[in-house]
A and B are shown apart, each in its own frame.
Chain A
């Protein structure tokens, strides 16, 4: 993958299996978001990306371009996604309910939402139309309000409910430990792929982040 002359990612090959929670980790600037955008075929690459069959993908962006002071409501965004994806009203209602987007929240201007609420709206947008895979970029960039269901618990619950494949870009090794079925370590090239506890050794983490780092696995 290149931006102009600059090569962002090379020597990378991996598979993602249906229904798994696949995490992509790596230091800042390693090309994680670029990889996600490549999977969406937004960035040209010289390699090959094969999605099985007619694969519908939902994408939760790291940040939105929309000016938050605009008079746009949550409902406007939901209606847009429903119309473009051809989803039914009942499908929409089911998903907004699953994400606890209540009526008063739907009528709110997007500027009135907290970071956590906006994130739930973005997840709802991605899920309307029932994609087979959900691509999620840096979900911890926004913080939840205390008392709200943690965004990963929401994702985990929805994944069980709707059986989609989840691909997450994350910094947070705790998340990887708790939810990932497999993990890809990325630093301009693929360093390791596999089950978190098998591949994330201190040596692997040091190679990935460039400094000695030890992660203590928490046993529940």
Chain B
């Protein structure tokens, strides 16, 4: 296997570690759907970048940044129309992204896949993962108090709205990191489904974060193996497309079903 493919696989696995942790906090913050909204917002950016032949991730990053600020300002207002706004943004971004993305790149943009990765971009990716993990390690206690009660956190001197914005940025960065392998439609799953698994089987925050990350890594590893070994499976007349994003998401969903049997507490 070429070094560039190895970089791609290693980065996908590292991203899974970060995604499990970010997802655990996102689940606690009741922002499970934000992952889908954000990833869809990335799509028009990817499309524009592909049109203008620049690195798609740069385009994705630009629109994600826009989306982050948008969601943050909606959160700050805290009005009842939040879900309406999110519903509109979500679908409009998907439509715009589909229109803009050149059709030969569309499937990969939507459902992910492997492109070989240069050493330079690999290192940028690793730095991104490190940033996510370090942020969460340093801020986990502040995040916990803010999730418990924003007032209590503020009384303790925590700048809640700044912390919310920082978390959203870290969340967007994680989406961006997962975008290559899972694609815009499914990258939200890498953040939320493993965290849902962790929530079922863990007791205590440390175990919750660990279990979510492990579930994410297992999903990505199994998804990669499935995709490499059987990109397409034919059963009778049926042709199954095991693109990378759907393969990873399916494994994660199966893990979630299994985790229901091991449910602790409640």
Q: Are A71 and B145 in contact (CB under 8 A)?
A: no
Instruction: Specify which chain A residues have a CB less than 8 angstroms from the CB of B265 in the assembled complex.
Output: 71, 109, 111-112
A79 and B140 CA atoms in complex are apart in Å by 10
A70 and B266 CA atoms in complex are apart in Å by 8
Q: How large is the interface on B (under 10, 10 to 19, 20 to 34, 35 or more residues)?
A: 20 to 34
A41 and B155 CA atoms in complex are apart in Å by 8
Q: CB of A50 within 8 A of chain B?
A: no
Q: Are B205 and A67 in contact (CB under 8 A)?
A: no
Given contacts A77-B144, A109-B265, A111-B266, contact A71 B203 (CB under 8 A): yes
Q: How large is the interface on A (under 10, 10 to 19, 20 to 34, 35 or more residues)?
A: 35 or more
Contact partner of A126 among B27, B152, B158, B264, CB < 8 A? B152
Contact partner of B141 among A41, A84, A112, CB < 8 A? A84
Q: Is the interface of A mostly helix, strand, loop or mixed?
A: mixed
Q: Per-position contact with A for B90-103: 1 when CB-CB < 8 Å, else 0?
A: 00000000000000
Contact partner of A70 among B28, B141, B154, B158, CB < 8 A? B28
Q: Are A58 and B155 in contact (CB under 8 A)?
A: yes
Instruction: Specify which chain A residues have a CB less than 8 angstroms from the CB of B141 in the assembled complex.
Output: 79-81, 83-84
Q: Are A84 and B199 in contact (CB under 8 A)?
A: no
A113 and B149 CA atoms in complex are apart in Å by 17
Q: CB of A27 within 8 A of chain B?
A: no
Q: Are A80 and B151 in contact (CB under 8 A)?
A: no
- A70 to B: closest C-beta gap in Å: 6
Given contacts A71-B203, A72-B28, contact A65 B150 (CB under 8 A): yes
Binding site for B on A (CB under 8 A): 37, 40-42, 57-61, 64-67, 69-73, 75-77, 79-81, 83-85, 107, 109, 111-112, 122, 125-126, 129, 135
Binding site for A on B (CB under 8 A): 27-28, 30, 140-142, 144-145, 147-152, 154-156, 158, 198-199, 202-205, 207-208, 264-266
